[in-house]
Amino acid sequence: MLDILFQNRRDKAAARRFFRRLLKTTCTVPRVVVTDQLRSYGAAHREVMPSVEHRSHQGLNHRAENSHQPTRQRARAMKGFRSVGGTQRFLAAFSQISPHFRPRRHLMAAPDYRAEMRHRFITWNQITGTTAMRATA
């Protein structure tokens, strides 16, 4: 999904590249392909894999859309990524750092959560050196 999301265009050629890359990386032909209602998916699907069933409906793609929701939120906040390389660099770092600030809140009481977050921010400040910058400023 991220591949098609960060291409310059979402036309038939981009969809065709996406489907071919999907087939190459999975090494199997899927039984069903579920996409959003963008017309270029249907056109590329008919060319690349006409024997596979294609479902294009607004409600069918929710599971796939929700799986990369944090990336979408971040892209919206940043007003979009500038390039594919920049996107890849961000996602590589973000996937390592993000869990540090997302403890399993539903398993903790509020005082424990606050203490845990305080500890994690102190650790983060020590690692990044921001406490030294505050002391000198």
Please say if the pLDDT value at position 36 is more than 50.
Answer: yes
pLDDT tens profile 44-67: 888 888 888 888 776 665 665 566
Please say if the pLDDT value at position 84 is more than 80.
Answer: no
How far apart are alpha carbons 78 and 25 in whole angstroms?
30
Nearest to 22 by CA among 12, 11, 33: 33
Please say if the pLDDT value at position 85 is more than 90.
Answer: no
Classify each residue of 72-95 as buried b or exposed e, where b means 16 or more C-beta atoms within 10 Å of its C-beta.
Answer: eeebeeeeebeeeeebeeebeeee
| pLDDT confidence bin for 77, thresholds 50/70/90 | low
pTM beyond cutoff 0.85? no
* pLDDT at 112 (0 to 100): 92
Tokens matching residue 29: 């032909």
**Which residues lie closer than 8 Å to 16 by C-beta, 6 or more apart?**
44, 47, 48
